[in-house]
Structure 1
Amino acid sequence: MLKARGLTIRCLFLITFLTAPILSWGNDNAPLQIRGSKYMFFAMTDLARAYMQRNPDKSVVVDESDHEALKDLSDKKYDAIAMLGKLDEDAQEEAEDLGLRLVEQIVGWGAVTLVTHPKNPVTELTLEQVRRIFSGEYNNWNQVGGDDELITTMTRDESVSGTELFFSQSVLRGFPFAQKTVRVFDHDIVRKIWKQPGSVADSRYTEAIRGRINGFVKIIAIKNDENSPAVMPTPETIQSQAYPLAAPMTLYFNSSNYGDNSKRFVSFCSSRGLLNPMASRRDH
């Protein structure tokens, strides 16, 4: 069942009808409707707001949901779907089965960050160490050079999490999260980490930066392998992809629906050169 939050962005946010959306198919003045996970909802909302401030005659609707996204794209309920990362092979096969000919457009860069308690002496991890920690293979920080302290893994308790999906695909590589992984609401992650010294969580970049500035969390640098340099997430390392957990913010359109309205929005997003609009404007 679709759970979506729709916001039409002009100077103010207005609630929109999702039951019978008016798409931009063949109508250059109709709202461009985009749906995605929570990570992409906030990122695309910022981009859409900026786009409409520059183009007051245009309208972009961003909805938060990723349930049956490809089917809704096929059914013409939306003009585009937005995700952190790219569609995996299963999703590409699903798109083919639905008769979709997808147009893939990267409109920015985001990242998953790892946060832990400020007193945790561990400052860097390899991708393999991260996988072993979050899959439950490692359960003590002394297995990665830290103190003799049990590891508590945390992730968000959300049905629509682009961050978790990307993390599962790129880091866990098919392994499930450890059974003891604590599920917490997104806005509680920083507070939970602060209260539990042995904890570690995957977090959105902007939340991690805010938490670090306030002294509640420490960001862990990531290495591709033992012989690689440890890289901290920054606007520069994310956009250059030097940071191992950088990910493209991707829009997918059905080719039959990729018209001038969509192309103008994609061109605007790409020209800004942002890794994440919120991060660039609010965190630096």
Structure 2
Amino acid sequence: MIVRPRFVCLPALFVLGLLPSFLSGCTSDDSPENDNQIVVTGSSTIAPLVAEIAKDFEALHPGVRIDVQSGGSSRGVADARRGLADIGMVSRDLKIEEGDLTAFTIARDGVGVIVHRDNPVDSLSDDQIVAIYTNRINNWNEVGGPDAPITVVNKAEGRSTLELFVEHFQLDNKQIQADTVIGDNEQGIKTVAGNPNAIGYVSIGTAEYDATHDIPIKLLPLSGVAASIENVRSGTFPLSRPLNLVVKIKPTGLAAEFIEFARSREVHPIILEQYFVPLSQ
């Protein structure tokens, strides 16, 4: 639990007899009620899922508050390390240099390429995707689409989706020629949904959910495999990732209870409702 001590005292004592009152007038943030709050920060992919899990956990633990904040996987790592969060959210495997952290996987997700629903292009090869993102292909008519310039949507630095994308396609982010740089998945989906000539990449879970709720986007297959939760679950989709809760030190108390709950079968319905893949069926 994060401790942020702050002391507020009554005016200076004038008589020794006031000492008991003085002590009772001093308060600290290190109080029992603060032991009932957990701060969780990081991946915008995981945040909506954790927020829903937190609601059920709070219902089972009256008086407990789980404060969930997004900002990207890099924030989750940094906040967990610096003690600014009890738990970080990281939507990828931990890196070698992050070995000081411990990850607890709560679900899995995939990363898929999206275009506007009205775009007639139904598939792109890996080479074509690389060519589009490096500006060697910049018109849809070069890949069987309309005569229209391609709007390339890329993720901002620090986003795990970007890291997975460039790793899979063996790119350096400096090679990508982006027209628009976005943060979280919903921003990426909104950008592509509002531009028939745009292309982007986001969480498959988020995209599949939005596509089935009348948002005008569609997922393209990757390496010939349909971008779907089912294919992530079966392990056939080539670009998938763990959704992790990370900590700096061994969790205890409420934080440990919450992590255990987030990894339990009790939350599988929530994970499925969020279009992610539970750890086991």
Could you state the TM-score of these two structures normalised by the residue count of structure 1? 0.68
Give the Cα separation in 1 of the matches to 2:153 and 2:53.
Answer: 29
In the alignment, does 2:47 pair up with 1:41? yes
Seq. identity, % = 18
CA contact (8 A) 1:239 1:246 kept: no
Which amino acid letter does the alignment assign opposite residue 129 of structure 1? Q
CA shift at 1:249, angstroms?
A: 0.6
In the alignment, does 2:112 pair up with 1:74? no
Rg larger in structure: 2
Residues 151 and 230 of structure 1: CA distance in aligned 2, closer, same or farther (over 3 Å):
same
Residues 146 and 217 of structure 1: CA distance in aligned 2, closer, same or farther (over 3 Å):
same
In the alignment, does 2:242 pair up with 1:248? yes
Give the Cα separation in 2 of the matches to 1:171 and 1:276.
Answer: 28
CA contact (8 A) 2:92 2:243 kept: yes
Aligned residues: 247
Structure 2: gaps (5+ residues): 7-27, 277-281
Counterpart of 1:13 in structure 2 is: none
In the alignment, does 2:247 pair up with 1:258? no
Give the Cα separation in 2 of the matches to 1:166 and 1:23.
Answer: 40
Give the Cα separation in 1 of the matches to 2:70 and 2:3.
Answer: 11
In the alignment, does 2:274 pair up with 1:279? yes
CA shift at 1:106, angstroms?
A: 0.7
CA shift at 1:165, angstroms?
A: 4.1
Give the Cα separation in 2 of the matches to 1:116 and 1:185.
Answer: 17
Give the Cα separation in 2 of the matches to 1:23 and 1:105.
Answer: 29
Residues 23 and 113 of structure 1: CA distance in aligned 2, closer, same or farther (over 3 Å):
farther
CA shift at 1:153, angstroms?
A: 1.1
In the alignment, does 2:225 pair up with 1:230? yes
Cα RMSD after superposing both structures:
3.8
| Segments of 4+ moved more than 6 angstroms | 17-24
CA shift at 1:82, angstroms?
A: 0.8
- Matching of residues 122-271 of structure 1 within 5 Å: 122-155=121-154, 161-171=159-169, 173-176=171-174, 178-183=176-181, 189-190=188-189, 192-204=191-203, 205-207=205-207, 209-211=209-211, 213-214=213-214, 216-223=216-223, 229-234=224-229, 236-254=230-248, 256-271=249-264
Give the Cα separation in 2 of the matches to 1:176 and 1:58.
Answer: 44
CA contact (8 A) 2:133 2:178 kept: no
Give the SS at the match of 1:125.
Answer: coil
Counterpart of 1:63 in structure 2 is: 69
Counterpart of 2:12 in structure 1 is: none
Give the Cα separation in 1 of the matches to 2:232 and 2:5.
Answer: 38
Residues 85 and 131 of structure 1: CA distance in aligned 2, closer, same or farther (over 3 Å):
farther
Which amino acid letter does the alignment assign opposite residue 259 of structure 1? T
CA contact (8 A) 1:80 1:251 kept: yes
CA offset digits 1:143-200 (Å, max 9, x no partner): 44545543221235x6764433443444454243633422357656455434533321
